[in-house]
């Protein structure tokens, strides 16, 4: 939908992801969209170099979020919110569904349940 404006569909997906979830890490985004991690990382690096997103390390994970100092952040988020209305419901449910309830206390994380 906004691919022509942003230059490619990967940037569009990253923007919608960050708008929906607030922050994210490359592997998580790649898993959600079924994209190669390096494609997501390349675009995040380009966006960070442009000052649109910022990253921080949390342990060994690099989390990305919109740069609060980006001068057009309000306008960008407004554009993304408006464009989000036109995304088909099926796609919204697949990619941008928020967790509706907290994790059960004591429930192991995904990677802990699938360790061999």
Residue 106 pLDDT exceeds 90: no
* pLDDT tens-digit readout, 31-57: 988 999 999 999 999 999 999 999 999
What pLDDT band is residue 1 in, cutting at 50, 70 and 90?
A: low
User: Domains along the chain?
Assistant: 3-113 (1.10.10.10)
* pLDDT tens-digit readout, 55-104: 999 999 999 999 999 999 999 999 998 988 888 888 877 777 755 455 66
Q: What pLDDT sits at residue 114? A: 60
What is the rounded CA–CA span in Å between residue 68 and residue 24?
A: 15
Q: What is the pTM of this model?
A: 0.77
- Report the SS3 class of residue 88: coil
């Amino acid at each position: 939908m906004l691919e022509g404006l942003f230059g490619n569909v990967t940037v569009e997906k990253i923007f919608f992801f960050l708008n929906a979830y607030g922050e994210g890490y490359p592997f998580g985004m790649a898993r959600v969209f079924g994209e190669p991690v390096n494609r997501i990382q390349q675009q995040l690096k380009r966006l960070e170099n442009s000052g649109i997103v910022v990253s921080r390390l949390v342990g060994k994970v690099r989390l990305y979020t919109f740069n609060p100092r980006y001068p057009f952040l309000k306008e960008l988020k407004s554009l993304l919110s408006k464009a989000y209305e036109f995304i088909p419901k099926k796609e919204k449910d697949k990619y941008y569904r928020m967790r509706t309830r907290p994790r059960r206390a004591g429930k192991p994380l995904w990677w802990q349940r699938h360790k061999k």
